[in-house]
Amino acid sequence: MSGHEHHGMKPLEGMSAYCRRGHQPDHQRDDRFGRLFPKLSPAYIPIHTLEAIGRKGGPMDGKSKNDRTDTVPVGMVFFGQFVDHDITLDASTTFDSVVDDPGEIANVRTPTLDLDCIYGVGPEAQPYLYEQAGAFAGPKLLTGSDNPGQAGERDHDLLRSPNGRAMIGDPRNDENRIISQLQLAIIRFHNHVCDTLHAEDGFEGEELYEHAREETTWHYQWAVVNDFLAAMCGRPVVERILGCGRAHYCGDTPFIPIEFSVAAYRFGHSMIPMKIQVQKGKSPLELFGAILGGGFDALGTPDGVVDWHELLFTPANRQVERAQKLDLLLAGDLLQLPFITNAENSLATRNLLRGNAFLLPGGEKVAEAIGCDPKWTAKVKKRIAKLSDAVDGALSEHGVPLWLWILAEAEVIGREESDGSTKEGEALGPVGATIVAETIIGLLENDDHSYLGSNRNWSPRPEWDTLGKLVTAAQP
């Protein structure tokens, strides 16, 4: 192997690489990435322009940004991160490798919302994740409270090995305290479902595990569609796709479009606040501080325990903290990530570089392809022009990075509301909402084991029918 073909890099095969870009993955494989818009040519933006846009102190620097949405709870942003970890992991590509055919990129996660990040590959293949004795041997998942020798606040933590690493299906769900606490909440929910089904139906052993896993997964999927997508894409968009079908996410094999993973689904980076209050009456904590930012280690203080009634809408009816508005600004700390010291440390620049590497089409071309209202497109162009002026007019209207376009349209158009209006800055605009909602609904509809793929008449139990109820059902 030559020095130019390592770690996901491969030589281009002349101009054919640009005339024949990968579309859907091989339909015999559901572990690959693909494209929603294979006929759109890629945009190209010089690296110095991308660096100027995304740099600390540049036009995307929101500094100590604190402009909150009206309706999106901050916990929903971290739930979006959890969903991302459930469906996708590209462990092979780099910023400096051109990705012509995304169908050649392996997706390490299953591209379905099956909670493999919770269950791993099940109690037979990964028994160390599950109880091995007592009435619930096999069905129930272990947590820190089952490990008497575990360091720290073990009763409020994930199960950990002696080196402090969490023993979970996806190690990324321990990269910050809020995501690890969300992982713990869903593990607890599964165990609560086990208790419920055992008491009501007498299920036990393998039968209990299978029923509890399906019940847990379907309630989670319901929350993804009816809470997360409704909040981030707009309920009218979700209802239109469910009622009229998908226009762009086609085929019958689940796959992850790169327009989704590299651009549209990175919208949450604009909505992350740098300080979050995780307990009632307590002071907000720094997201990258010692308490919330210390991932991959035991929970060392009770101050790091997340009370989900504070971060999501629940029957407790607390004064829930809202997410930041979705716009072209990122909190200043995200443009100089403290934990990256030997590579590009601006999250914005990293996102922009990936768009170039994956040959993503420009935002205006995608807007035209999905049939956006020209009046909306004109508003987005006007906002992009202001950003372009800040970097010496380097962006043409046909070369706007897709991720930037999606942030700009969220800022100046925003989420579609039930009355036909749009709400600026509240959540995704038309391009972003279409890509995100079609992809996630498509993953569910193409999965024979999901509620939308196997039983479209299913409905959740009233006590578990929202995300807030689900994550607090077994909260101590």
Cα 44 from Cα 467, distance rounded (Å): 40
Mean pLDDT of the chain: 89
Whether 5 is covered by a domain: the verdict is no
Cα 424 from Cα 70, distance rounded (Å): 11
Cα 241 from Cα 440, distance rounded (Å): 11
Cα 328 versus chain centre, distance:
18
pLDDT of residue 30: 52
- DSSP state for residue 284 in the 8-state scheme: P
Whether 312 is covered by a domain: the verdict is yes
* Residue 306: partners with Cβ closer than 8 Å, 6 or more residues away: 177, 178, 181, 182, 185, 278, 279
- Does 28 have pLDDT greater than 80? no
Closest among 116, 90, 257 to 173, alpha carbons compared? 116
> How open is the CA angle 230-359-266, to the nearest 5 degrees?
30
Whether 10 is covered by a domain: the verdict is no
Q: How many CA atoms lie within 13 A of 454 on its CB side?
A: 9
- Cβ–Cβ < 8 Å for 227, 430: no
List, for residues 447-468, the tens digit of each pLDDT value: 999 999 999 999 999 999 999 9
Whether 1 is covered by a domain: the verdict is no
> What does each C-alpha distance from 40 to 58, 73, 130, 365 come to in angstroms?
30, 35, 47, 7
Cα 156 versus chain centre, distance:
24
Q: What share of the chain is helix, strand, coil (3-state, %, to 5)?
A: 45, 5, 50
pLDDT of residue 99: 47
Whether 9 is covered by a domain: the verdict is no
**Average pLDDT, integer, range 322-348:** 92
List, for residues 387-444, the tens digit of each pLDDT value: 888 887 677 766 899 999 999 999 999 999 999 999 999 999 999 999 999 999 999 9
- Cβ–Cβ < 8 Å for 164, 296: yes
Cα 320 from Cα 426, distance rounded (Å): 16
Whether 4 is covered by a domain: the verdict is no
For residue 465, what is the domain's CATH number?
A: 1.10.640.10
Say what the pTM is. Answer: 0.91
Q: Domain total for the chain?
A: 1
Residue 391 or 197, more confident: 197
The least confident of 19-33, 97-111, 339-353 is: 19-33
How far apart, in Å, do the first and last CA atoms of the chain sit?
A: 54
- Does 206 have pLDDT greater than 70? yes
Closest among 10, 168, 173, 3 to 92, alpha carbons compared? 10
Quickly list H helices, 157-247.
177-201, 205-223, 230-233, 235-244
List, for residues 165-195, the tens digit of each pLDDT value: 999 999 999 999 999 999 999 999 999 999 9
Whether 58 is covered by a domain: the verdict is yes
Cα 434 from Cα 463, distance rounded (Å): 30
- Per DSSP, the residues of 400-447 read --HHHHHHHHHHHT-EE-TTS-EETTTS--HHHHHHHHHHHHHHHHT-
> How open is the CA angle 400-405-410, to the nearest 5 degrees?
165
Q: What percent of the chain has pLDDT over 70?
A: 88
Cα 310 from Cα 280, distance rounded (Å): 7
Whether 285 is covered by a domain: the verdict is yes
Q: Which residue has the tokens 């992991």?
A: 89
List, for residues 62-111, the tens digit of each pLDDT value: 998 889 999 999 999 999 999 999 998 644 444 444 445 544 444 455 78
Q: What percent of the chain has pLDDT over 90?
A: 79
- Per-residue confidence band for 31, with pLDDT thresholds at 50, 70 and 90: low
- Cβ–Cβ < 8 Å for 120, 266: no
* Residue 406: partners with Cβ closer than 8 Å, 6 or more residues away: 263, 264, 267, 363, 428, 429, 431, 432, 435
Residue 252 or 3, more confident: 252
**385-408 b/e (C-beta count within 10 Å ≥ 16 → b):** eebbeebeebbeeebbbbbbbbbb
pLDDT of residue 2: 38
Domain residues for the domain of 30 are 23-472
pLDDT of residue 81: 96
